[in-house]
Amino acid sequence: MFGWSKKDTGAKDRSTQSEPTVRSLLIARTPPWNRIAPKVIDAILEGITDKALLEAFVMVSMKHKLVARYEALGWEKSDSVVVIRAQISHVLCQIGNRTMPALAKALEAKQTDAATTAFALVNDTFEPAIALAKNQIVAYAQLSTAWGMLGKRAECHDWAQRGLAELEAMREEIHRLNVPIHKMLGGIPADALDQMVEQQLRGYLEL
């Protein structure tokens, strides 16, 4: 609709800062990151290896005051890296989910600047969320939805296919471990959620 491509998202603007600077900021635990457990910093850096994506994560976390929400994580010896990343991923998804209606509204009103800002935030929350927890299936669905709103069929299909591939990988792992799926999804009635998201993702491939 607005002629966007992947190069036109927030990733283009955020690529001006190099990864070493961002990594140094986190490793040195520069304020406000000084309140974050070293284990959490390590989990972030090991999970988000793309320099542009790492910068997006840091900028979004600071601009939207998410760093304070990371403060409680990683101080217990029992806190695993997988759980830490999943919790941060969940926080990012909350911001992305809240931005989706604003994106839809801006696109409907043909407010290009507002839509660009909203889409950049959607992209800069859901993509790092996936980098931290690749089984964050809802993030794939939301990215597919966002690209579909822009009329970008290829990108919409790409995220839908990625989501379906990860969903299948999750099912294979669950079957291998013989673990009830609801335990891996925090007690949510997962069968219904699983099927709903799958139908949504498959629906995008038919567009």
pLDDT tens-digit series, residues 68-83: 999 999 999 899 999 9
Can you give the pTM of this predicted structure? 0.82
- Residues with pLDDT less than 70, the chain: 1-20, 175, 178-194, 207
- The 3-class secondary structure across 72-84, one letter per residue, is CCCCCCCCCHHHH
DSSP type of residue 7: G
Integer CA distances (angstroms), 4 to 27, 47, 76, in order: 34, 28, 44
Predicted pLDDT of residue 54: 97
Predicted pLDDT of residue 185: 46
Q: Is the peptide bond before 189 cis (omega within 30 degrees of 0)?
A: no
Predicted pLDDT of residue 130: 98
Predicted pLDDT of residue 21: 83
Predicted pLDDT of residue 161: 96
